[in-house]
Amino acid sequence: MKISYFLIISLLWKFVHSGEYLLASFNVRVFGQKKIQNQPVVDHLIEIISRYDLILIQEIRDASETAIEELIKQVNEANDNAFAMVTSPRLGRTSSKEQYSVFYRHEFFQPVNSYVYSDPDDVFEREPFNVRFQVSNWALPDLVISAIHTKPDDAVSELSHMVDVYEDLVVRWNIQNVLIMGDFNADCNYVRKKNWPDVRLRNDSRFQWYIDDEDDTTVRESTDCAYDRFAVAGEDLQAAVKTASVFNFAEEFHINMSVAEMVSDHFPIQMRISAQDFQTPAPKHYGNGSSRETSSTKIFRLLGILFECLVLGDYL
C-alpha cells in the first residue's frame, strides 16, 4: 500500500478548511524596529501568524511604520504570498502611538471598508479600528472586526463605550454581526469583580463574551489574568462560533519562558468559526464556560483523516 504524500497534505488542508476559519487576536508587546531585528523572535511570530486565516496584531509601535511591512514580507515568504494586511493609522494621545494591523489570507478574506471610530469626547486612548471583510464560501454576507486595545487604567470606561462603537457600526454599515476583539485589559487590577456591573459591553444582552474570566492570556508564570477577549454581537455570528481558547505558544513550540517573553507578554486568543450550516445559536458566555474544541475531539478528527488516507491508499 502506497499513499501519496501530496494526497495526505491535501486531505489535511481539507480538514483545516472544511467550512471553518480560524481567527485570532494577539498583543505582540511593543512591536517595532528592535523586535523586527530579532530574527529568532520574528521566526516565532511567523509560526504563530501562519496558523491563522485572520489575525489582529496589536501594540505596533514604530514611527517609521516599516516594521510591520517587514513582518508581513517574511510571513509571505514562509506562506507562498498567502497573506495581505490592513493597518490603522498611528493612534494614541501621547507620543507613544500604536497601530492595529489585521493579517488575513486573501484567498478567503477581502476588505471592503475600514475606518477609525470618531471619538470627539476622547474616551479612548487608542480609538477602535473597524474593518469589514467579504468572506469566501460563507453563509453571512460579511465579517466585521472591531479592534480595541484599551488603556489599562481606563478599561472599564473604554469597554463600556465599545457599545457605542457597535451602534455606530450598525448605523454606518447596516449590519448586526460584529466581532469585537483585542486586549481588553479585562481582569486583575484593571477590571475587578466589583467593576463588572459597570461594564456595558459585558451586561448588554446583545453581546456574547468568549474566553473565561478564569483563563490566563498572559505569558509570565507570575501572572494569571484574562486580559484578551472576544465579544460577539449578532445571532448569526454567535451561532457560527465553534470554539474559543488561549493559544499557549510556549507549550506548543516547546520554548522556555525567557524566550516566550521576548515574543510577547500575551498569548494569542483564537476563535474557530463555521463557514456554513449554523442555525442553532451557540450558548451564551459572559466570562465563564466558553466553548472549546477538546484535545480528544481534535485527536478523533485527525484519526479520521488518517483512516481516510489509509483507505484511499489501497487504490493508489
Q: Which residue, 190, 108, 183, is CA-closest to 142?
A: 108
The reply to whether 44 belongs to the active site is no
Active-site residue, selected from the candidate residues 59, 98, 127, 158: 98
- How far apart are alpha carbons 145 and 116 in whole angstroms? 12
Contact partners, residue 54, CB within 8 Å, separation at least 6:
21, 23, 24, 102, 103, 104, 105, 108, 109, 133, 143, 145
Backbone angles phi, psi at 201, to 5 degrees: -60, -30
CA distances from 299 to 12, 27, 307 (A): 13, 29, 12
The 10 Å Cβ neighbour count of residue 292 is 17
CA neighbours closer than 13 Å in the CB half-sphere of residue 88: 29
The question of whether 214 is a catalytic residue gets the answer no
Nearest to 55 by CA among 275, 239, 230: 230
C-alpha cell at 133: 471583510
116-122: Cβ within 8 A, 24+ apart: 116/88, 116/89, 116/91, 117/165, 117/168, 118/168, 122/93
Q: What nine digits make up the cell of 172?
A: 454606518
CA dihedral 198, 124, 248, 178 (to 10 degrees): 80
Select which of 44, 149, 161, 285 is catalytic.
149
Q: Which residues are catalytic?
A: 98, 149
